[in-house]
Amino acid sequence: MRDTRDMLLVLLSSLLMLTGCSRRDILDDYPVSGVEISLDWNGVTNKLPEGVRVIFYPKNAEGRKIDTYLSVKGGKVKVPPGRYSVVVYNYDTETVQIRGEEAYETIEAFTGHCNGLGIAGTEQLVWGPDLLYVVRIDDLKIENSEEELQLNWKPKLVVKTYSFKLKVQGLEYVSSIVGSIEGMSSCYDLGLGCGKAGDSPIYFAARGSAGEVTGSFTVFGTSEGVISRAGNAIKLTLAFVKTDNKVQKMEVDITEVIANSESGGSGGDDDGDEPFKEIELPVEDEVKVDKPDSSGGGDGGFDGNVDGWGDDEEVILPVN
């Protein structure tokens, strides 16, 4: 009886050892390699983001998708061997959102519609993007190695800022100014590394003082295709909401201005490591805002209607 019990114990121990070996073999089927990412922000920005999101997209069955968050300077990641496409971007944006992150071919940055401005019609506009920095790597091979792979990457600012000034008469009759841009990039394809024109105009705020309107707007890095497509004019619109709650608008075709500003570089991946510069748009035409109707009874608030950007109350201001 004792011999039988001893044999059972030996058999049980052997089974446990076999189970342990089997589990170890399964784990060995999914090896990982150490990857250390270093992000170089020198010459990119002096105000560092809070941190970055890093996504490794496998290009074959050998790898596995890795989605993680690192400090702004980078960090260490365990990644199975294989070939990957990689996207890195800062996650601390206020207006920029990300969609389509399931695949390298579909991941895209965009901005939502303007809600809560208190001006009817502005909900049709989308916010301008805030600063988004991106690293995109089309093809990265990670070997099965015990040595850490060192990756040194430099993020790139993919948002451009444009500024303008405009002489305007009659600003004393204006309670608010709503600006918008049509025909420029309101989305950004992180995998392709280029901006894409969306369906909605991009909102921006403008200020009027001492006979001059100044403003600035942001768009995702303009691709050559956006500028050169026939019939795709880039239009700047200013809607002056007057103290009688009527709206006058000024529209300017700035296609040529933008094209000229891009002549030194298309905003693509060959621009080098320098961040995008702020560019002043030479819009110098003087316009005039009509005196409000004294019987209108407007209170000078933010309830002027710019719905549809083409209502009966719209008056196109002359631009010579």
What pLDDT does 258 receive? 82
For residue 160, the cross-strand partners are: 219
Do 165 and 265 sit in the same domain of this protein?
yes
For residue 52, CA distances in Å to 92, 134, 141 come to: 8, 9, 21
For residue 200, CA distances in Å to 181, 192, 308 come to: 9, 21, 11
Supply the range of the domain harboring residue 149. Answer: 31-93+131-157
Do 40 and 120 sit in the same domain of this protein?
no
Residues in the chain with pLDDT < 70?
1-30, 222-231, 263-286, 295-320
Query: Is the pTM here over 0.85, yes or no?
Result: no
What pLDDT does 312 receive? 36
What pLDDT does 261 receive? 74
Do 125 and 260 sit in the same domain of this protein?
yes
Do 75 and 52 sit in the same domain of this protein?
yes
- Give residue 222's identity as a one-letter amino acid code: T
Do 177 and 87 sit in the same domain of this protein?
no
What pLDDT does 228 receive? 43
Do 210 and 164 sit in the same domain of this protein?
yes
Asked if 236 and 206 count as a contact pair (C-beta separation under 8 A), the reply is no
- What CA–CA distance (Å, rounded) separates 136 from 230? 29
Do 170 and 146 sit in the same domain of this protein?
no
CATH number at residue 61: 2.60.40.1120
What pLDDT does 237 receive? 93
Residue 105 within any structural domain of the chain: no
* Overall number of domains in the chain: 2
